[in-house]
């Protein structure tokens, strides 16, 4: 059995956060969150930890190495957060309301490409970066209940 040494709590100097628009249905919140975080691991590989294995040596896929914090806010809060994430050049993923009407990656990308940045009807935003920068992006948002 391979066990890693335990130490004190790990404190990360970075943050992974998802901001959801507060008027989403429960199934939409889950779907949007899953889609948003899926992009971070490919663009920022250091957020991914090591693969898992159980005591019987059955292998499992690696996951994020740190918690994902989920927040909610108004449409205006989301728009402001998007602008701040862009101005700080933080790695980010967006989910727009148009994506609820598409059924595949090609159509999703086309739906986002068809709308100018300032006109995106954002329902979700994932962002990764230094803790204090992400905190500034999320100003005005509250933790998801």
Whole-prediction pTM value?
0.89
Q: Where is average pLDDT lowest: 6-15, 28-37, 57-66, 102-111? A: 6-15
Q: What is the mean pLDDT of residues 44-59?
A: 95
pLDDT beyond 50 at 140: yes
Instruction: Give the percent of the chain with pLDDT over 70.
Output: 95
Report d(CA 35, CA 38) in Å as an integer.
5
DSSP structure string for 52-93: EE-TT--EE---BSS-EEEEEE-HHHHHHHHHHHHHTT--EE
Predicted confidence (pLDDT) at residue 121 exceeds the cutoff of 90? yes
82 touches 30 (CB < 8 A): no
**Is the pLDDT assigned to residue 29 strictly greater than 80?**
yes
Instruction: Check pLDDT > 80 for residue 7.
Output: no
Looking at residue 1, what is its pLDDT? 47
Q: Is the dihedral of CA 116, 117, 118, 121 positive or negative?
A: positive
pLDDT (average), residues 110-118: 97
């Amino acid at each position: 059995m391979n066990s890693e040494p335990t130490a004190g709590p790990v404190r990360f100097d970075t943050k992974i956060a998802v901001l959801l628009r507060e008027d989403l249905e429960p199934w939409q919140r889950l779907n949007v969150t899953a889609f948003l975080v899926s992009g971070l691991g490919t663009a920022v590989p250091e957020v991914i930890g090591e693969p898992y294995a159980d005591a019987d040596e059955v292998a499992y896929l690696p996951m994020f190495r740190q918690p994902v914090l989920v927040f909610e806010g108004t449409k205006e809060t989301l728009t402001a957060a998007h602008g701040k994430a862009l101005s700080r050049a933080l790695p980010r993923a967006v989910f727009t309301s148009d994506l609820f009407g598409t059924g595949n990656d090609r159509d999703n990308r086309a739906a986002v490409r068809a709308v100018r940045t300032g006109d995106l009807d954002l329902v979700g935003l994932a962002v990764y970066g230094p803790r204090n920068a992400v905190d500034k992006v999320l100003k005005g948002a509250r933790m998801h209940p």
